[in-house]
Structure 1
Amino acid sequence: MRRPRSPSFQVTPKGERLDSHFISSLSRPFYLLLAITTASLVAGVWRWQASPSMHGAIAFVMIWATLDLLFLLAALGVLYEKPQRRSEPRAWLDEELVLWVEGRPFRARASDGSRLGIGVDIGFSELDAATRQRALDLFHKAAIVTLRFADGKVLQARIENRQWGPRQQHLHLGLAYRFANIQDERYAVDLAFGDSARLQENLDRRHQGKSILGALAHIAVLAVIEGSKNLWWQLRNLWDLAYGAMGRTLRHGKTKELT
């Protein structure tokens, strides 16, 4: 804090969207700490081989260095911002529905929802090869779908994104509602947030306790996956920057030779 005696307060922005991946500038000191920690682990491996009489002390230090490495990777994973195309969070759902695409019905299940959109999962494993291919072609081309819920309510939605499962046996659709009137919007709000039992279930899922080892294992997995994404994204950007500069230099040199 630059002025501790006169602090300022800024309201956290709400409803912001991010169209591409982004690495926060706060990552920079963590790269330095990560490099130092990695170097200390390499030195520890060398000392382990060079000083057999100090294995106990070296192992103790390396265990803590490994934990530091995981926490640093976790911090980098947190600072790796993914695209945020939703203007508000979605609540977990588990609702059966029928999804119509160009006059053809498909059984589906809602996985999450909000006031503005809904996530829908569709399985194609029970279809034969020819029928599955026709269904895939429909969903590749379709832009607008119709949702019929269990209580008979019908809503229209626009396909925002498609996520295909392995061998295209499963499809997850991110849909944005197209409301015809205020009643449709009220139904969407009630579907996502109006059921007190569902809200309590979501709270229980979020606050579900973990053991110390389970929490540590969870952090380790997320650290390796998300932290590696941060490093890979940064290395790829550096490579593109260096390669682009080299290409511009080579092109500039060739231009001079020609002139």
Structure 2
Amino acid sequence: MRRRTLLLAASALALPTLARAQAPLTVFAAASLQDALRALEPAWRAAAPGNPPLRFSFAASSALARQIEQGAPADLFLSADEPWMDYVAQRGLILPETRTSSLGNALVLVAPADSPQPPLALGRGTDLAALLGPQGRLATGDPAHVPVGLYAKAALEWMGQWATLAPRIARADSVRAALLLVERGEAPLGIVYLTDAKLSQGVKLLGTFPAESHPPVTYPFALTKRAEGNAPARALLAFLSGPASIETWRRFGFAVAQP
């Protein structure tokens, strides 16, 4: 009887530890990362016994940063640009020593898949207003806060066309929402990331904006302050930014910096 009591007591003590080990990790990630992260999740679960499941929240980096600021329970923040990671860092909401930027992307111009517009070399002389036609709108993220829109604004300023095109922008709340506007034919052109364009059957790639036309598209990852002391969260960050994930990131079109 005494042995049974001891066994039951030991089991009761083990249950909280097991529950903690299996508690999901919450990952706040830029919308453009969602397909690659979904593909990486099974590899993460298989990488080591006891690796916890993942709970994802995908949106524009700006929206996610503000949610973290308001107390949303994220363990990792994966941003689509440096300024929004700076935003949370300046408020003491991440562990700065964990910040890493190993992924890159390209900014591209797309059109609906059935568009007659042929591919073109984008440069300062490319007349995007003429390509849009008299009523067409240019879909991209809202340049006021969505990273892809901020990159797009920089590229259009470099081309000398921002003042002309700003009133004609269809401002989406994420890069995926902008892509959807083009897929549906609601916008004849869109500015999105190369990775999103490659995944879509509903758009065609018209051209890539020159690298000098906008700040580098990089993806900083970091643990949030909430994850301090959370060993599985730290292991997940190492997994996502390390060699085990490189081939998957590349398969989805991301540029990966060598460690």
Report the TM-score when normalising by structure 1: 0.23
Higher relative contact order (CA 8 A, sep 6+): 2
In terms of Rg, which structure is larger? 1
The structure carrying a bigger helix percent of its residues is: 1
